[in-house]
Amino acid sequence: FLHYNKVWKHSNAIFNFDDDSWNHLHGPQAIVETLAVDGLPYSVNLRFPPNVFRQANGAAFTKIIERVRTLMPEGGEGNVNVVELYGGVGTIGLHVLDMCKSLISSDENPNNVKAFEDAVKELPKKFRRKPSYKQLSAESMVKEGYLDGGAKVDVVIVDPPRKGCDDVVVNAINNSKAKSLIYVSCGFEAFVRDQKRLEDEGKWKLKVAEGFVLFPGADAIETLAVFERS
């Protein structure tokens, strides 16, 4: 697995998303990784080409996914509709398909779409009809109405970058009909800010907040939080 990135411009991303920015030199086009999620009744073969985000510590992030599964609301696959923002290749969402009726995952990176769809093709047949993917930023998902009052959404999953959720996203979550919000954060200060904005309007109450060490020896933690309606 060897690719070369010919970065030619500065941006707020480490690597750009341009189609011709990567040259494949050797090995497979993507890493295929299956996380050993305890209790998962099926396997998810995640795809990670070089132009998508991958958690550096997959084993530690697996523990977060396991905890997310235990914190999913009751109702089961017949009743729970999930919308996932900042979803990447579906690392979290694809691991809760047995617990929901539908999953709409989303992210702005266009390279995530094929990785997501290739993973879905290898799922057991009964799960393949549940997930779909929107190549949209979280803000665009909101503007297109995926969290509106009339939308079918019971659970919102967010895993934003270090800066946290944008104001328009927080406002939409507050005004949605969702009953549960699962928030995975890699930036604690941003999480505290978002937590205050979610609770200040009196619409959400923090139920669970836990820290996970993904980089031993560093001063960073990953936060998993679950909010329920007040």
Evaluate whether 147 touches 119 at the Cβ level (below 8 Å).
Answer: no
Q: Which amino acid is at 207?
A: K
For strand 222-229 and strand 2-5, is the pairing parallel, antiparallel, or unpaired?
A: unpaired
Residue with tokens 């309606």: 229
CA distances to 32, 63, 66, 69, 224 from 221, in Å: 26, 13, 17, 20, 10
- Find the catalytic residue in 35, 186, 214, 225: 186
Please spell the DSSP secondary structure of 177-188, one letter per residue: --SEEEEEES-H
Evaluate whether 113 touches 133 at the Cβ level (below 8 Å).
Answer: yes
> Is 100 noted as a catalytic residue in this protein?
no
Q: List, in order, residues 6 or more apart from 11 with CB less than 8 Å away.
A: none
What positions carry a catalytic annotation?
186
